Structure 1
Amino acid sequence: MRFRTLTAAVALLALAAGCGSSGGEKTTSSEGKQLDKVTLTLNWYPYGEHAPFYYGKAQKIYEKHGIDLTINAGQGSQKTIQATAAGQNDFGWADTPALLAGVGTGMKVKSVGVFLQTTPSAVQFFSDKNIKSPADLKGKTIASTAGDALSKTFPAFLKVNGLQASDVKLQNLDAAGKMAAVLSSQTDALLGFATDQGPTIQEKGKKPVSYLKFADFGLNFYSNGLLTSVKNLSEKKDLVTRMVAATSEAWTAAGANESGAVDAMKGASEQLPSPTVLKEQFSATLKLLHTPATEGKAPGVNDEGDWRKTIQVFADAGVIDKAQEPSAYWDVSFAPKG
């Protein structure tokens, strides 16, 4: 089975992308500087991981780079990638496995830098379940979403830890349903991002949540990053360069002021988590920015070897039919400096 939803009708793209691409429009800042209007569609509704974008806008980091940024909520990485490839928005923030699958189906889109280089993918559960290692998952019921990257890579996670897919039972639910199932004890755990659902479940359930993080148990791969259409890469090189530089700078600045970054998210969405959850989400996200190969480098600087490892993980998992060269998925020429 592949990411079948990646071939969904183009008619759905405008809905997924919010208000769409800026189409080269210009605005003028309060200081009289001419700015390019740019749209960024997230992978999901705003949560703590996205704080740097709001902080970068509030602190006029994007404006400094000549960008008037509009941030739109997403409806999943796959739809964000579809919309970006079709030119419905200028840039997307999406999960790398969905990008690999999209390129594999012919979508003209590429990464210009993965920022979350350690996957937040995890099995999440209340600590009183007494699950300490992957072996403790045997016989457990786990909420998942059919067809997403987590459900695709979970068998690989089980395999590297000496388990088989038949050792656990997966219950297919949507994003909200997964959390509800854990909160109501209908399932023992869920598959999700440790930087997303876990803090929310802990707050709502009023008891500690624990994790089996894929990266801690033998399976790491690239996660969320910035992407744009191949057309933009060739026709708007200067804009892409500025957007990548501004985003890297925004992540650096937000990491130096976590509370300020989270405060910048006020009013971002009606579905916005509480300030406490946002802080936990963002703090956990900051631990994912580098691998040993990129430690000490600017956020968004990638290593070709890490790309190759990620591509191979998803080729082995059946997410992509063919493992192509990293250049098929990623354009290194826009890497941030510093």
Structure 2
Amino acid sequence: MTFRRFLATAVAGAVSGAVAAVLVPTAGHAAEKANLLLNWVPTADHSPYYYAKAQGWYEKEGLDVSIEAGRGSGVSAQRIGAGNTEFAVADMATALVAKSKGADIVAVMTVYANSPQGFYWLNSSGIKGPKDFPGHKLGNPPGDASRVMWPAFAKAVGIPADSVSFVNVSPQAKLASLKSKAIDITSDFYNEHDLKVREFGKDLGFLAWRNIGLNLYGNSVIVNGDYLAKNRDTVAKFVKVSQKAFAACVADVSPCLKALMASVSGLDEANQRDQWNRIKELMTDPTTTGVALGAFDGKRLAGDYDLVKTYFGMEKDFDIAKSYTNDFLDKSVKMPK
């Protein structure tokens, strides 16, 4: 072998080895595992996380993200407070109550910038609006947030708090109970508004809480405060990718729903698409269109704190400014107006 040929062979081998070293991660550069606990079973509002994972966006940032179905915001808040999951989705009011009980929780991105809470009734029952609620039966679960917050709602619309009778109804039985007239009014999230429209048509009456000034922040991404302090880079990467994914799904939800349904069985695509269109409404407010997609407004959150303290109760006061941060959001990524 000539020297020139030897040199060419050596260089080619060195380049090949370098490429292999880049493509094959070593033990010291393995992707960092991070678990995302959802607030409930996966549906359209969770599709951006599945889309980001399917696109390899978390992986490109060095994160090995697993997505775990949830069992309610209370469980999400407890798990984050205990520090046994890296990220979780939870209703913000629930997170604030948990924080008052000692859970070290910080919200890093909001999804529902508007409250998803609303009341539904049938116009044929004689109810035309909340002024007609007195004397009627309101059905929902005993621990339903709308039942806890009922005094605030009653005050906002100008009716006595004791003017309705409550009927215990499971979440799955709300629509059937309304249809059978076992109840006259029920509470439910706005996500599945279209299912109710298809079921009842023009007979359906509806009032969104956000339209009467009761507009608490809803589902948000939360982390443990101590974990955040020690893993700011990891949190920054997760929020960066998740915010990017939500923006992509706002632009075109089709690939996002495809990613969701590839991982979750039993979902109807048309229903999920309807849900996503409603979720986009819940994601849109002056802060998410003017500051950043996923951003909190401190003054609004302070108002939420006061409402939660009044109606849900706080075991211990805390500084609301330390319960959230917008630091990890890309300010160039905004919800369309």
Q: Please, what is the CA RMSD of the aligned residues?
A: 2.4
The residue number in structure 1 matching 2:223 is 228
Looking at structure 2, the residues matched to 276 and 318 of structure 1 have their Cα atoms a distance apart, in angstroms, of 36
The residue number in structure 2 matching 1:214 is 209
Query: What's the CA shift string for 1:54-79, capped at 9, x where partnerless?
Result: 22222333233332222111111001
Among 239, 250, 256, the residue aligned to 1:244: 239
- Secondary structure in 1 matching 2:118: strand
Amino acid at match of 1:266: M
Once the two structures are TM-superposed, the CA of residue 323 in structure 1 deviates from its matched residue by 5.2
- Tell me if structure 1 keeps the 8 A contact 2:87–2:221: yes
Looking at structure 2, the residues matched to 277 and 104 of structure 1 have their Cα atoms a distance apart, in angstroms, of 37
The residue number in structure 2 matching 1:50 is 46
The more displaced of 137-146 and 90-99 is 137-146
Query: What's the CA shift string for 1:168-225, capped at 9, x where partnerless?
Result: 22222332233442343322232121114x334455x464644210011221111110
The residue number in structure 2 matching 1:310 is 304
Where does structure 2 lack aligned partners over 5 or more consecutive residues? 1-22, 333-337
Query: What's the CA shift string for 1:133-162, capped at 9, x where partnerless?
Result: 211322222222223322222221111100
The residue number in structure 1 matching 2:35 is 39
CA distance 1:315–1:66, change in 2 (3 Å):
same
Looking at structure 1, the residues matched to 262 and 167 of structure 2 have their Cα atoms a distance apart, in angstroms, of 34
- The residue correspondences of 1:27-176 to structure 2 (distance < 5 A) are 32=24, 34-126=30-122, 128-129=124-125, 131-176=127-172
The residue number in structure 1 matching 2:270 is 276
User: What is the total number of aligned residue pairs between the two structures?
Assistant: 306
The residue number in structure 1 matching 2:322 is 328
Query: What's the CA shift string for 1:105-125, capped at 9, x where partnerless?
Result: 111222112221110110123
Q: Between Structure 1 and Structure 2, which shows a larger proportion of helix residues?
A: 2
Amino acid at match of 1:39: N
Among 279, 288, 303, the residue aligned to 2:282: 288
CA distance 1:184–1:69, change in 2 (3 Å):
farther
Looking at structure 2, the residues matched to 268 and 64 of structure 1 have their Cα atoms a distance apart, in angstroms, of 20
When normalised by structure 2's length, the TM-score is 0.82
- Secondary structure in 2 matching 1:165: coil
The more displaced of 187-196 and 113-122 is 187-196
Q: Does 1:261 align with 2:256?
A: yes
Where does structure 1 lack aligned partners over 5 or more consecutive residues? 1-30
Amino acid at match of 1:48: A
When normalised by structure 1's length, the TM-score is 0.82
- Secondary structure in 1 matching 2:65: strand
The more displaced of 42-51 and 53-62 is 53-62
The sequence identity of aligned pairs, in percent, is: 27
- Secondary structure in 1 matching 2:90: strand
Once the two structures are TM-superposed, the CA of residue 249 in structure 1 deviates from its matched residue by 0.8
Amino acid at match of 2:184: D
CA distance 1:193–1:79, change in 2 (3 Å):
same
- Secondary structure in 2 matching 1:163: coil
Amino acid at match of 1:86: A
- Secondary structure in 1 matching 2:31: strand
Amino acid at match of 1:213: A
